[in-house]
Amino acid sequence: MTDSGLRVVAERARTAARALALATRAEKDAALLAMADDLEAATDAVLAANAEDLACAEDNGTPANIVDRLRLTPERVAGMAEGLRNVAGLPDPVGEVVRGGVLANGLELRQVRVPFGVVGMIYEARPNVTADAAGICLKSGNAVLLRGSSSARSSNAAIVEVLRSAAERSGLHADVIQLVPGDTRDSVKELMRARGLVDVLIPRGGAGLIRSVVEESTVPVIETGVGNCHVYVDAAADLDRALAIVLNAKTQRTSVCNAAESLLVHERVAEAFLPKVVAGLQGAGVTLHGDAAFSAYDGVVEATDDDWGREYLSLDISAAVVPGLDAAIEHIHRHSSGHSDAIVTEDQAAARRFVAAVDSAAVLVNASTRFTDGAEFGFGAEIGISTQKLHARGPMGLPEMTSTKYVVTGDGHVR
């Protein structure tokens, strides 16, 4: 790590994190509410900065789904502000007693939640992540170093300027929220190797970004995001319900990690279901990449081996007919990213087997994969969906943004 920008901001973040760890909930909530108000007041400035990023993206031929993730509107800025207010309304995890009691020798033992310290975020496109991450980290007592993509450079800078000013005006250290300086790959590598200054890294973005961070970082990483999500329509499915779930999972919003990317259909209902689902998906503008059974329908593209493991993030879906439940489970084992996989069935035994056998962060029964979300789960805001098993799995809300320590209180005890 060089002694240039990254070390300077990381050391400032550590100083700010130590002060933030002592802040009361009232102080943190006041800062979050001020950040929300100031962000709404600065809507025009934020949108002007975002327009610069959009113009560059379009000039560079950026795909439409990525431009959509980059785009801010007055409604999206208002949504970011509302997200900060929602975080302010959530319980503060810091200081929560996870477990505790009095030992046989009279020592009082408590395991309590504490902040990580300094959290590094490496993320692509979406400037709304800048506000979300800042708010969640602040409420959980963490300073945050934000490294967004160069495509959102102006947007992120405008948002962070507003948030820092509001935090400082509220009595907190402005350096609880900082952008990592630099736009090159070198600045990302510095952040990944800032062990001792940065406590944990959270990447959000495509498979390539996440793989790079996981494989190259010396800082502990919480892996999030890649979602090759499946919907399996069982032999015992209600086909009207199945159609509604598939359409929602695929088309409600395509550029998100919990959108369905693969459809599996039991062969016993294929004859009845395929005409409905092909027509429904194509009517919504979806291109199907299908096996032989699906490819028999006009407009369906023959799937390649790469299609089964692909996160499209667009109006595309891979689709196959399988001989049964076990074949569907085996297909998911081979190709799922471990994010969210769903079964549609009226057979409770099939549902139980699917839930037990599919090893993903979220397994859904008769529900769209689009429900895998911190807010939808009732957790409030989330910083991402963890697809690993340590330290957290699934939607990462405020409790998941803390570690724990043991507090041992004695009365002159010696061992």
Mean pLDDT of 179-183: 92
Average pLDDT over residues 378-403: 92
**What is the C-alpha separation between 123 and 191, in angstroms, rounded?**
12
Hey, CA dihedral for 372, 240, 317, 357, is it positive or negative?
A: positive
**3.40.190.10, 3.40.605.10, 3.40.50.300, 2.40.30.30: CATH of 5-224+383-409:** 3.40.605.10
Distance CA 169, CA 166 (A): 5
> In which band, very low, low, confident or very high, does the pLDDT at 64 lie, cut at 50, 70 and 90?
confident
Is it the case that residue 3 has pLDDT exceeding 80? no
β-sheet bridge partners, residue 195 = 198
| Amino acid symbol at 119 | V
User: What pLDDT digit, counting tens, does each position of 200-210 carry?
Assistant: 999 988 888 88
pLDDT of residue 206: 80
Q: Residue 348 and residue 93: Cα distance in Å, rounded?
A: 37
| Domains 5-224+383-409 and 229-371 in one fold | no
**Strands annotated E in 134-184:** 143-147, 177-179
Complete DSSP assignment for 175-212: GGEEEPS-SSHHHHHHHHT-BTTB-EEEEES-HHHHHH
Q: For 303-347, write each residue's pLDDT tens digit.
A: 999 999 999 989 999 999 999 999 999 999 999 999 999 999 999
* Side chain identity at residue 346, one-letter code: E
Per-residue pLDDT reduced to its tens digit, 81-121: 999 999 999 999 999 999 999 999 999 999 999 999 999 99
Angle 42-44-46 from CA coordinates, rounded to 5°: 70
Question: What's the pTM value of the predicted model, to 2 decimals?
Answer: 0.90
Q: Give domain limits for the chain.
A: 5-224+383-409, 229-371
Q: Which helix (H) or strand (E) element contains residue 250?
A: helix 239-251
pLDDT interval class at 199 (50, 70, 90): very high
Q: For the chain, what is the mean pLDDT?
A: 95
- Rounded CA-CA distance 138/176 in Å is 7
Q: What pLDDT, in 10s, does the model give residues 215-253?
A: 999 999 998 878 999 999 999 999 999 999 999 999 999
- What is the architecture, at CATH level 2, of domain 229-371? 3-Layer(aba) Sandwich (3.40)
Nearest to 30 by CA among 105, 103, 92: 92
Using the CB atoms, write b or e for 239-252: b if 16+ within 10 Å: eeebbebbbbbbbe
Confidence band for 4, pLDDT divided at 50, 70 and 90: low
